[in-house]
Every structure is written in structure tokens, then in C-alpha cells.
Amino acid sequence: MNFEELIAFAGRHPYLSLALAGLTLAILYNELIGLFRGYKGLAPAGLTALVNRDNALVVDLRPIADFDKGHIPGAKNVQLSQFDPESKQLAAAKALPVVLVCKSGQTAGGAAKRLHKAGFERVYVLDGGIGVWQQADLPLVKGR
């Protein structure tokens, strides 16, 4: 297909052409936002690999009652109201990858931006939160 045929197709099918252009722009926008947000999303398998390979710190931002019902093995619970990127616990982990986990992945995104602004270079969020971890049938630890 050459350029003239492409232009002719676009002229015959304006709605398809607009839909293609709109989808292309949406994908580009989404990719650009992802590049500049300061953190990366992870699937459960990626989180497992990061913990095993790089000794990543997993920070669970859910309320303590939810954390006690089940959390990722080795995760540390930090209440969102007490989340401070400058705290001694987190500042000591600046050299490590830090993975933030919440219920759905939305809360962790905001906290990840704060970590990135504080100088953390390897910040990740579990995409889909703890629910995705459970759907992947991965283990949870109860209690603290």
C-alpha cells in the first residue's frame, strides 16, 4: 500500500480514519504519561522477581486491619496518614527498589510520586493492588 492509496482509503472511510487517529493519540498520551510519572507498574510476577533478585522493599499502604487479614510475605505496613518519604525506615531503603501496594493500585500511585520527588529512583506500584496478587493465587501472610 502506498501513500496515495492510504489517502484514498481515509477519504472513503472518514470515521475509521478518525477512530484510528484518536486511538493512536490516546496510546501515545498514555505512554508519555507513564514515562514521566516517576514510577513503574508491576504485575505480581514482576514483584516476585524484584523481591527475589534485588531484595526490594514492599510497603503495604492498606489499613492495619486489612494488612493483618493478609499481606505479601515480607511486606511492611505503613499507614498512608503516616507515610513520609523522609522517614528513617524509608530513607534507609533509597538504594533498594521500593514496591508500594494498596487495595487497588490507585493510592499507591500517589505515594509513589512522593517517593520519586524525595529522590527514590527505583519506585514501583503493584498494578491492581493486593487483589491482583490474590487473583494470581500467590501466598498471603496473616497477622504482623
Q: Do 55 and 107 have their domain in common?
A: yes
Closest CA to 77 of 104, 52, 46, 100: 100
What digits encode the pLDDT tens for the residues 5-50? Answer: 888 988 999 999 999 999 999 998 877 776 667 788 899 999 999 9
Q: Do 17 and 45 have their domain in common?
A: no
Longest C-alpha distance within the chain, in Å? Answer: 66
Is 140 among the domain residues? no
Q: Do 17 and 59 have their domain in common?
A: no
Question: Which grid cell is 123?
Answer: 519506585
Q: Do 71 and 128 have their domain in common?
A: yes
Strands, DSSP E only, in 15-142? 40-42, 57-60, 76-77, 98-101, 123-126
Residue 81 confidence (pLDDT): 82
Look at the chain and report how many structural domains it folds into: 2
Q: What is the extent of the structural domain holding 30? A: 3-35
Mean of the pLDDT values across residues 56-79?
A: 93
Q: Do 10 and 57 have their domain in common?
A: no
